[in-house]
């Protein structure tokens, strides 16, 4: 997938999550895009850094007060670490989607 299209999909999805005040990880964004656009080949490793940079930029330009907290999550290969992006008033301990399962692309 072209980087410009991928960046647009990621930007729009992050805006949706932040606009609703949702807490999310890069995998949440990846899975959302895969579910909404099953015809698009989106790889988690391609969007991780993009989500990190875009979240900071979007937060600053839209006056969202978001933090990034490193969280322990469960993956298919064991425990791992992921940044949880969340509103400043959200307690990261309340994030329940710690079972980080990747949706498969078609």
The ranges assigned to domains in the chain are: 3-94
| pLDDT per position as a tens digit, 33-58 | 999 998 988 888 899 999 999 998 89
pTM for the model: 0.85
> Looking at the domain 3-94, which fold is it?
Arc Repressor Mutant, subunit A (1.10.10)
**Would you list the DSSP string of 5-60?**
HHHHHHHHHHHHHHHTT--B-HHHHHHHHHHH-TTS---HHHHHHHHHHHHHHHHH
19-31 average pLDDT score: 93
For residue 62, the SS3 value is helix
């Amino acid at each position: 997938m072209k980087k410009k299209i991928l960046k647009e999909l990621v930007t729009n999805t992050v805006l949706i999550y932040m606009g609703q005040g949702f807490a999310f990880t890069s995998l949440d964004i990846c899975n959302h895009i895969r579910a909404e656009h099953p015809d698009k080949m989106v790889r988690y490793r391609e969007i991780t850094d993009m989500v990190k940079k875009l979240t900071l930029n979007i937060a600053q330009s839209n006056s969202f007060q978001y933090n990034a907290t490193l969280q322990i999550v469960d993956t298919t290969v064991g425990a791992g670490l992921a940044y949880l992006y969340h509103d400043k008033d959200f307690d990261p301990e309340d994030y329940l989607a710690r079972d980080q399962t990747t949706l498969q692309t078609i």
